[in-house]
Amino acid sequence: MSDLCHTGRRRALCTIAAIPAAWFGKPTWAARTQSISSRQRLICIGSAVTEIVYALEANDLIVGVDTTSIYPDAARSLPSIGYSRTLSAEGVLSLSPSQILCTEDAGPPVVLQQIQDAGIQIRRLPAHHTFTGVCDRVIAIGQSIHQQTRADQLKLQLQQQWARIEDAMKAKPFPNTTPRVLYIHSMNPSQVMVSGQETNANAMIRYAGLRNAMDGFRGYKPLTPEAVIVANPDLILVTDQGLQAIGGRSQLAHLPGMERTKAILSQKVISMDAVYLLGFGPRMPEAVITLHRQARALFG
């Protein structure tokens, strides 16, 4: 019996304590938050959400953001709860939020469950990589923070902007065939992926009036030299952050299979900020027209 030693004893004590206590009803965390202030305390997860809240001029409600919320600059100085996919329950709760607004990639599910069990509402706002999705986000956020009027105004603004952009793109189409674009996603040199169909990058490429050079598959797949050579894209699209991760434009040209592509041979590479290009926030229309204009500039 003495061999059941220290660990057994400690555990026995805890089990004894746990059994009766664990049978009691669900406690709530919300009570505490209410006692702090009657004002809203928002946590924004995902750059799009943060940007929309800023656009609705409700940024003073924000008490915490994730690591992708880098625009506007002021958002960078807000408390960071880390990477959106690896949240910490305690970390989030320590900011005493009244509600949480997040994009579709917040996680892990267990932590979200724990936060919800604490009585904090989590509002998931997917955009499905579409412009209508962005408008839906704006309206949904407006509802959540009781700024419906401003949200309606913002949505109207965006729709008008979108209409103007569509007209502009139709007015001046590409002279020859539509350029075929390869989007490269590279967060580190050893893991370089390319975008197929049904991704955020693919949506932006299509909206900008371009074509995705990779059309045989869905999602992101590792870069393979033969596939790149066969696809032979006219244009390479990357993000600033991705480009930096692999060591700049010169390194981009040295990726397997890239050297012989039309894009590299004619040096047609476009790089944009990741969050700006793929965030699907209020700057999305602007990003579409920027991409279109830069491509136009390269292809006459």
128 touches another protein (CB under 8 A):
no
Q: How far is the CB of 221 from another protein (least distance, A)?
A: 8
d(Cα 204, Cα 98) in Å, to the nearest integer?
A: 34
The contact mask relative to another protein for 39-78 (x = CB under 8 A, - = no) is: -------------------------x--x-----------
Q: Which is nearer to another protein, 180 or 185 (CB)?
A: 185
Residue of 48, 49, 61, 81 interacting with another protein (CB under 8 A): 81
Written as six digits, the tokens of 132 are 């209508």
Q: How far is the CB of 114 from another protein (least distance, A)?
A: 6
CA 253 to chain centre: 27
Written as six digits, the tokens of 181 are 């674009």
CA 33 to chain centre: 28
Residue of 4, 74, 230, 265 interacting with another protein (CB under 8 A): 4
Asked whether the bond before 108 is cis by omega within 30 degrees of 0, the reply is yes
- Give the β-pairing of 99-102 and 180-188: unpaired
Q: How far is the CB of 2 from another protein (least distance, A)?
A: 9
Q: Which is nearer to another protein, 10 or 128 (CB)?
A: 10
For 36, other C-beta atoms within 10 Å of its C-beta total: 10
Strand partners, 19: none
The contact mask relative to another protein for 179-208 (x = CB under 8 A, - = no) is: --------------------x---------
Written as six digits, the tokens of 215 are 């059309």
Q: Which is nearer to another protein, 108 or 173 (CB)?
A: 108
Q: Which is nearer to another protein, 31 or 171 (CB)?
A: 31
d(Cα 217, Cα 242) in Å, to the nearest integer?
A: 22
CA proximity to 46, closest of 133, 104, 97: 104
132 touches another protein (CB under 8 A):
no
For 158, other C-beta atoms within 10 Å of its C-beta total: 20
- Residues near another protein (CB under 8 A) are 3-11, 14-15, 18, 21-22, 24-25, 27-29, 31-32, 35, 64, 67, 79-83, 85-95, 105, 107-111, 113-114, 117-118, 199, 218-222
